[in-house]
Amino acid sequence: MCRNDNRLAKTLLMAALVPEARPFKGLTVKRLAHLNHGTIASPIPGAEMQVVAQRLRDWASQVGALRLGEQADPEVNIHLAGVDLQPILAQAAEADTAGARKNAMRRLLFQALELDSEGTVVEGAMRAPIPSCPSTARAARAASATATSARWTTPR
């Protein structure tokens, strides 16, 4: 299974875990292809849905839990039987905090920009407060000037 197939499978698993979520409710092959936009290669532009449908048919012949409809844009789902999802979801809820989300976003941003996030000036600048009004901006400049002048004075 290649990386793109893994992405399709993970999307299907997420749809099975939270079937009432808006992106996954009534998940069709077309929507699955759209959710994984850019990961499906097709020799003919616009034929990504057919590529995804064929992969799902191949998988469905091997995995009984995968169900694929017969419509032009078939509905697709995975039936998870015998899996106790409550402990898994409870563990994920404990890890879902504002700080964890912020760190994940920072990590993803730095990876996308191919920056080293360890001890860089950029990371320090990201933690600095952004002045929202002129008086705050003046106070920030004054504090910065004081810190700069304190660094460059020589002790007597």
Same domain, 71 and 112: no
Q: Residue count of the chain, please give it.
A: 156
CB atoms within 10 A of CB 98: 7
**Residue 69, in any domain of the structure:** yes
**Residue 135, in any domain of the structure:** yes
C-alpha–C-alpha distance, residues 136 and 123, integer Å:
21
Q: What is the pLDDT of residue 14?
A: 87
**Paired residues of 77 in beta bridges:** 67
118: Cα separation from own chain's centroid: 22
**Residue 87, in any domain of the structure:** no
- Give the CATH number of the domain where residue 34 resides: 1.10.10
Per-residue pLDDT tens digits for 46-56: 888 888 889 99
Of 28, 53, 81, the domain-final residue: 81
Of 30, 49, 81, the domain-final residue: 81
CA-CA-CA-CA torsion sign (11, 15, 18, 23) = positive
Of 50, 81, 112, the domain-final residue: 81
Helices 3-17 and 48-62 pack at an angle, to 10 degrees, of 70
Least confident residue range of 9-18, 70-79, 140-149: 140-149
Q: How many structural domains comprise the chain?
A: 2
Per-residue pLDDT tens digits for 21-66: 888 898 999 999 988 888 888 888 888 888 888 999 999 899 888 8
Q: How large is the average pLDDT for residues 97-107?
A: 85
pLDDT band at 132 (very low <50, low <70, confident <90, very high): low
**Residue 29, in any domain of the structure:** yes
Show the domain range for 75. Answer: 3-81
In degrees and rounded to multiples of 5, residue 56 shows phi and psi of -65, -40
